[in-house]
A and B are shown apart, each in its own frame.
Chain A
Amino acid sequence: MANRAVTLDDYRAVAPRGAVDVLLRIGERLRGRRVAHVSASRYSGGFVEVLNRLVPTQNELGIDTGWEIVVGDAQFDAVAQAVATALGGTEQVVTDAMLEHLLATCVENAARLPLEADLVVVHESAPLLLVDGRPASGSWVWRCHGDVSAPQHQVWSFLRRFLARYNGTVVSLARFAPSLSIPRYLIHPSIDPLSDRNRDLPRVEQAERLARLRVPRDKPFLLQVGPFTRTQDPLGVVNAYRLVKKHHDVRLVLAGPALEPNSAVFDEVVAAADGDADVIPVALPPDTQGDINALERAASIIVQKPLRADFGLDVASAMWKGKPVVGSTAGGIPAQIVSGVTGYTVETVQGAAFRLRHLLSNPELIGRMGAAGREHVRRHFLVTRHIGAYLALLAQLTK
């Protein structure tokens, strides 16, 4: 599969029975329509994995689909980042001049990009103001991937008159939705089961990757994947591990990017390990999806205990590997974990330790919950479902 393009047929083996046929059929109905996705980057952002699958799949179905990129100068990038942070509720200094520059850049891009389409999906905040130059025909939708339920007031006041010109907005969780007069649609994010992060991994490759990461396999280990930031609460996870360790001989692996500015937190975790060889912080370089895949498959239980989160798709990725997940109640984590069935949601370090101990004391639960989690992801969080949701939206908005 690494040497040829992935097609929709490749998902028959992993998607629910009949799901691929539904996509083929609705594709027939929508054949000839044109869709344009617009973003500020083709490489960074949680939506990239989905678009990398959605765009070629829609083209395979005969829906003419393009993925356009807005370009701007360094000031545009800085303003876009500030606006994105402000939309997430963190106060930023965003002046009128900065917003005017954002608008002017979007207007230039609107004149350049091929935006005549039946449906235009604008992802995130950088290209949001493109709508100022939208053609008269076609439906425009703003796809926001994070929590914009409590944006910075001043920035929101500027942006909402532009948002009112969209035909709708799409959010990942109902409570992430902003207050708007246009229709608001809910589409949960998804994982691609055939990506490097989630594909089946031969045991030999798994062992090689773990050996390179210096993660031994001689005892069960708990795993948390995520950047080394305080938001991810790695020290809380270490504390939970210590409570578990009193009763179970396990290891804790914390894996994620540790580049600046995360390296200070990485150092804190190393210090917190305090010579315990069973606490293994693993600093991962960029583009190490295969390594994370190997770690998730080798772990016994996966922990996702951030203090704050967007949708938190690491949970679905972990469940796809057949692992129970003990997660916090931040962001979209409770929308993925079916507590008591695919894992547990917890509010405290002690709660995490309690649930981890419970699973380790009842190992048959680990397998049962892991299997339930994988099936839950198959039904609700695979990219095939996500593609279907976009196609349904296209059908709904262009009928």
Chain B
Amino acid sequence: MTDAPPFIFLGCLEVLEILDLTARDERELGEHLRGVPDECVFSHLSGALLHRAVLPEAYPNDFALWAAAELRDLRLAERLALVDLFDAGSVEAARNELVVTIEDHVRHQSAPPAAGRGQPFTFMQAHVVPVPTGHRARTLREFRDALAEVDVSALFFHLVEARYRLGRGKGDFAEWIASSLGQPALAEALCRIDPDVGSLERLRDRHLTLLDTALGAS
């Protein structure tokens, strides 16, 4: 396997751009979601991992967080929290699921929402700037040790950005471990780690646990 290409860890920085679009209530949120760019939907779903507070019990995307914090609508927040880019499979599918969820919620509201509830939702999109970390690995041990040291943005780039914006199959870690190290079972196990564990640091911890087990077994 020493002839296999090394894994080069890339981190990333993000530039958050504020779009000229806000939603004052759930109805407007649903309406605007139909037309915003894919990048915007991505930024507020999984992209939130890069810039939101580390809160194990928090809702995992910006839409659910806003519904809870600003609309004080926990029912809507809970439903939006389950919209997951990884489960949906694509940004378009996730967008559709968000819109359908919101429209259904609005249709079944028993009374019009109260006026003047909290801050409006501001649509943004992140421009991701990849940055070499200087870490590379040729073996599973080197991969594990580098993963323990890199900036957490590397997990975002290789697991989320690579999979859903750059279209790279199951994410860079799994692809390399399967193809370069010839360990498809380990790759599959890494793919099954729930990305909604609350933070990139915890996502790192889950990966390290699996890798340590694999290294211990070998």
Contact = CB atoms under 8 A, between A and B. Distances in A.
Interface residues of A, number: 34
B61 interface: no
B124 A376 contact: no
B153 A177 contact: no
B134 interface: yes
Contacts, number: 83
A393 to B, nearest CB: 5
Given A26-B129, A389-B13, A19 B151 contact: yes
Interface string B6-25: 00000101111110100000
B181 to A, nearest CB: 23
Given A380-B53, A395-B129, A18 B16 contact: no
A18 to B, nearest CB: 3
Nearest to A19: B151
A8 B17 CA distance: 27
B152 A174 contact: no
Interface in B142-162: 149-154
B127 interface: yes
B15 A25 contact: no
B217 interface: no
A222 B23 CA distance: 38
B18 A18 contact: no
Interface in A152-184: 171, 174-175, 177, 179, 183-184
Nearest to B123: A174
A175 B14 CA distance: 19
B150 A18 contact: yes
B131 interface: yes
A17 B119 contact: no
Contacts of A22: 11, 13, 131, 133, 151, 153
B133 A25 contact: yes
B143 to A, nearest CB: 15
Nearest to A169: B18
Contacts of A177: 18
Interface string A186-213: 1100000000000000000000000000
Nearest to B16: A186
Contact of B18 (A24, A29, A186): A186
A187 B51 CA distance: 11
A396 B15 contact: yes
Nearest to B127: A396
B126 to A, nearest CB: 10
Contacts of A29: 131-132
Interface in A363-377: 375-376
B54 interface: yes
Contacts of B15: 185, 389, 392-393, 396
Interface of B: 11, 13-18, 20, 51, 53-55, 119-120, 122, 124, 127, 129, 131-134, 149-154
11 contacts: A17-B149, A21-B133, A29-B131, A174-B122, A184-B17, A186-B124, A187-B16, A338-B55, A388-B13, A391-B13, A392-B15
Interface of A: 16-19, 21-22, 24-26, 28-29, 171, 174-175, 177, 179, 183-187, 338, 341, 375-376, 379-380, 388-389, 391-393, 395-396
Given A17-B152, A22-B153, A375-B54, 5 more contacts: A18-B150, A21-B150, A22-B133, A186-B124, A388-B13
Give me the 5 closest cross-chain CB pairs, A-B, nearest first: A18-B151, A392-B13, A174-B122, A186-B16, A184-B18
